[in-house]
Amino acid sequence: MPQKRIHAFGGGKAEGNKDMKDVLGGKGAGLAEMSNIGIPVPPGFTITTEVCSEYFHGGNKLPRALDPELRRALEKVEALTGKGFGDGGNPLLVSVRSGARVSMPGMMDTVLNLGLNDATVEGLAASARDPRFAWDSYRRFVAMFGDVVLGMKPERKEDRDPFEEILDAKKHARGVRHDSELPVDALRELVLEFKAEIRRRKGIAFPDDPMEQLREAIAAVFRSWENDRAIAYRRMNGIPAEWGTAVTVQSMVFGNLGEDSGTGVAFTRNPANGTDEFYGEFLVNAQGEDVVAGIRTPQKIADLAARWPEVATQLEDVRSRLERHYRDMQDIEFTIERGHLFVLQTRSGKRTGLAAVRIAVAMADARLITREEAVLRVEPEALNHLLRPVFDLDRKAAAVKGGKLLARGLPAGPGAASGRLVFFAEDAEAWRARGETVLLARHETSPEDIRGMAAAEGFLTAFGGMTSHAALVARQMGKVAIVGCEALRFDYHARKMIVPTPSGERTISEGAWISIDGTAGEVIEGQLETRPSEVVEVLVERSRDAKSAPVYQEFAKLLSWADQARRLKVRANADQPDQAATAVAFGAQGIGLCRTEHMFFGEGKIGPMREMIVADNEEDRRAALARLLPLQREDFRGLFVAMAGRPVTIRTLDPPLHEFLPHDEAGVAELARATGKSVEQIRERVQELGESNPMLGHRGCRLGISYPEITEMQARAIFEAAVDALEAGSKVEPEVMIPLVGARKELEDQAAVVRRVADEVFVERGKKVRYLVGTMIEVPRGALTAGEIARTAEFFSFGTNDLTQTTFGLSRDDTGPVLKTYLEKDIYPVDPFVSIDREGVGALMQIAAAAGRMVRPGMKLGICGEHGGDPASVGFCHEIGLDYVSCSPYRLPIARLAAAQASLREAAKEKPVRNGKRPGVNGVARAPKKVARSRRARARA
């Protein structure tokens, strides 16, 4: 049984405070806190979330013990306002408001003007000296009570609110268009008709007793915790059902008492771009909901001063006090009653990524918060917003309004892109080559589309989820993408895309302009202008000077603070010198994964690669490999130079060979021509290499073990390139990584080849390069026997994409239908290909990390799966002591921030809050030293 069911606030003090969100809800805690610090708040009280549990556990009944407490609390409010609840002379009216621990805007219900009946309405009319206002409030209250408390709100979209219907009929009968034109006697009639409607539909009388009204309204607000909207919202945002809502009962203030009254909502800073300006809207002579309802066009906060200079000054003071007090941007509701300002709500305001960065940096610079807090304030994922090309918002809204919205899909690659539609990767390349801007739309994409994808501004697929090939490539390349846009149908032969829209089926042909908003997941017909983000202009395109780029400067500042706080290093997954350069610009401290197979799709390489694959004997194979050698060497040299001495991890050939072979007639014919074989022979070879489950077949180190000459060629390319780069004055640190190792002997076999070739090259060239040979841990057997493998491996890199596939026994390319159901049914909490499954995959990683370091103290450990760019997974990698995470270049800023947050959270846990202050940078910087010390200790042991 709860100790105290009701906490009062008002009159410059309160029984609660801002840290009591669990019991008072966000709204109640905010009102209590504002009372405590002397912000004008209409007095009231909050009934705790525990009473909500009591209500549900007691079979939807309010506990009896609540009644006396309720009366006592009302007395306090009466004393503070000088009004009486149910008093026919000078009535106290209240609102009954919902409020959960975290804000669930608009999900639950609120009742306003409670306490009105046939007697009190006269008192209100007299005290306000405005009968029209009193009767207008009364009819609003009866309708709201009917809707919210008695459940008369329409359930289905096509149904109308019964009170609205009666109101419309009344306006029609009186020949007026607006509610405000109805005279008092019409409003009186409405009250009677509303009450009659309640009796007709519900068979009960509208309760005249204010106490009964109050009890029923409180119960209704508790019940609204279980309405469909609230349940759906909770599910989407991971809010536990047990939390329940608090109920705040608060004396009413009226913004609709004439031209000297009004109501508004405001943010203490601009929530879209973070500018330090008071940002919001207000309406003159209006009540709470009217601003949001959008019936009248509100005025800007900036115009408030012209109308009410004193109120404006007061509000400005509230703004700065709330910000200083909460040390964060606030979102407030306020009402002005006959020239007096009241604040009705305050909470941390939701903001875009751009605004989040701006606000955090500005507040730290103003010493309102520490730099560590600034780093903790920004959701890592929000940084995406600063990297993507942008649409002009007004133009987009106009296009949508003009019926140009074609379809919606999953926002896989945030940002904005416009281009001419193509359906084939080759076309994307060809069109691009002649100077066109293109968008590639396909049912789905595959590795052989990679060059076309690079040529396109963005891509659009009908199939696949957030981890599909298209989504993955979008992240790696920083492209805009919408995937899983199920409404799209393709007619590749006719080169058309068919889209059902509300106004009928639309056919979009090749070459037509379309625009995709990868942040919102919206496909729009026509060309919308975009431009690169400022950060990209400075870092990647180098077309803008950092000095004239304020957004970039803030971004860089925040990340420099993050870099001071983090222990984890960050590396990039990059295959080409230009990607490496981008990675370095985004802060890469090395390359964690160079997928050599991507190189084979490059200019002039796929030919010899295919010849190598179809060769029937070692000699032919070696001849083809000899042609690939200089091409690979050149790629590697470029990478080494771009990385300027930072470690570069190169993985030997990984995918099954058939992925490189042509599957279409023309491709087969061409390969036959090039190799002097018959079309049949080529077809046979393609057939022969086909596998029923390529994910578990002849791939990874198995290829190098079957065809050591492939590994030989790759090792030679790596070491020759390393010596070349060294001779050109660049430092190099190659790390050769053997994929898919499950048994130590596999690695020994391949490591021996690599080391032999290294020695040969060093002798030939008369120069030595320091290098490491290690392995990916990406099958459970590899993780479980990691101690054994570590006798040969000099480093481990967790390939968590494959480790997740093989641990779950679930192919990543076939997750679509499975995951959809599993996530809906809550069987998996999150998509394990997006965020590391700590319990399963994570456990294997921990086993492998511990075993590896036991055998080889201080062994270098990293992760190169897509998870390396997922903030939650980065946190996990920090916790289990990895040295680095590696991710796509465009996700590096996110990884840096996530790594910093993991360090800061750990430090906060280790070092309890002292003097009310959180540990500073110095406190945090100790974390890495401690790790280093324990590692040395292990080394001594």
Stretch in the footprint of ligand ADP (CB under 6 A) among 209-217, 249-257, 597-605, 688-696: 249-257
Alpha-carbon gap, residue 446 to 738, rounded angstroms: 24
97 interacts with, out of ligand ADP, Mg ion, none, CB within 5 to 8 A per kind: ligand ADP
Alpha-carbon gap, residue 171 to 706, rounded angstroms: 86
Interactions with Mg ion, residue window 766-795 (CB under 5 A): 778
519 binds ligand ADP (CB under 6 A): no
Are 613 and 551 in contact by the 8 Å Cβ rule? The answer is no
Interactions with Mg ion, residue window 342-381 (CB under 5 A): 345
Burial grade of 545 (CB within 10 A; 0-12, 13-18, 19 or more): exposed
Residue 52 annotated as catalytic:
no
Q: Work out whether strand 772-777 and strand 795-798 pair parallel, antiparallel, or are unpaired.
A: parallel
Both tokens assigned to 750: 């391949």
799 interacts with, out of ligand ADP, Mg ion, none, CB within 5 to 8 A per kind: Mg ion
Burial string for 871-903 (b: 16+ CB within 10 Å, else e) reads: bebbbbbbebbbbbbbbbbbbbbbbbbbbbbbb
- Which one of the listed residues 864, 867, 877, 887 is annotated catalytic? 864
Alpha-carbon gap, residue 654 to 698, rounded angstroms: 9
333 binds ligand ADP (CB under 6 A): yes
250 binds ligand ADP (CB under 6 A): yes
799 binds Mg ion (CB under 5 A): yes
CB of 227 to ligand ADP, least distance (A): 13
> Which amino acid is residue 461, in one-letter code?
T
How far the first Cα of the chain sits from its last, in Å, is: 55
CB of 42 to ligand ADP, least distance (A): 5
573 binds ligand ADP (CB under 6 A): no
Which runs of E-coded beta strand occur in 355-457? Answer: 390-391, 405-408, 410-413, 416-422, 438-442
- Closest CB to ligand ADP among residues 27, 651: 27
Count of Cβ atoms closer than 10 Å to residue 421 Cβ? 20
Among positions 344, 376, 648, 668, the unique one binding ligand ADP when judged by CB under 6 A: 344
802 interacts with, out of ligand ADP, Mg ion, none, CB within 5 to 8 A per kind: Mg ion
Are 732 and 641 in contact by the 8 Å Cβ rule? The answer is no
77 binds ligand ADP (CB under 6 A): no
- How would you list the strands of the sheet with 299-300, edge to edge? 299-300, 279-284, 262-267, 330-337, 340-348
- How would you list the strands of the sheet with 110-114, edge to edge? 13-14, 6-10, 44-47, 246-251, 94-99, 110-114
- Closest CB to ligand ADP among residues 333, 735: 333
Calculate the CA 665 to chain-centre distance: 43
Interactions with ligand ADP, residue window 24-63 (CB under 6 A): 42
95 binds ligand ADP (CB under 6 A): yes
Are 141 and 150 in contact by the 8 Å Cβ rule? The answer is no
Alpha-carbon gap, residue 852 to 794, rounded angstroms: 9
CB of 6 to ligand ADP, least distance (A): 17
Among positions 130, 372, 802, 883, the unique one binding Mg ion when judged by CB under 5 A: 802
Helix (H, G, I), strand (E, B) or coil at 818: helix
112 binds ligand ADP (CB under 6 A): yes
Among positions 152, 252, 315, 477, the unique one binding ligand ADP when judged by CB under 6 A: 252
Kindly write out the interface string for residues 287-326 of this chain, putting x where it contacts ligand ADP by CB under 6 A and - elsewhere.
-xx-------------------------------------
Are 72 and 94 in contact by the 8 Å Cβ rule? The answer is no
Residue 469 annotated as catalytic:
yes
Helix (H) or strand (E) holding 399: helix 393-401
337 binds Mg ion (CB under 5 A): no
735 binds Mg ion (CB under 5 A): no
147 binds Mg ion (CB under 5 A): no
Among positions 120, 270, 335, 815, the unique one binding ligand ADP when judged by CB under 6 A: 335
CB of 778 to Mg ion, least distance (A): 5
- Which one of the listed residues 385, 469, 867, 878 is annotated catalytic? 469
Question: Number of residues in contact with ligand ADP, rule: CB under 6 A?
Answer: 16
CB of 23 to ligand ADP, least distance (A): 17
285 interacts with, out of ligand ADP, Mg ion, none, CB within 5 to 8 A per kind: none
Among positions 253, 332, 390, 701, the unique one binding ligand ADP when judged by CB under 6 A: 253
Are 940 and 391 in contact by the 8 Å Cβ rule? The answer is no
Can you give the binding site for ligand ADP, defined by CB under 6 A? 42, 95, 97, 105-106, 110, 112, 250, 252-253, 288-289, 333, 335, 344-345
Q: So which residues are the catalytic ones?
A: 469, 864
Can you give the binding site for Mg ion, defined by CB under 5 A? 345, 778, 799, 802
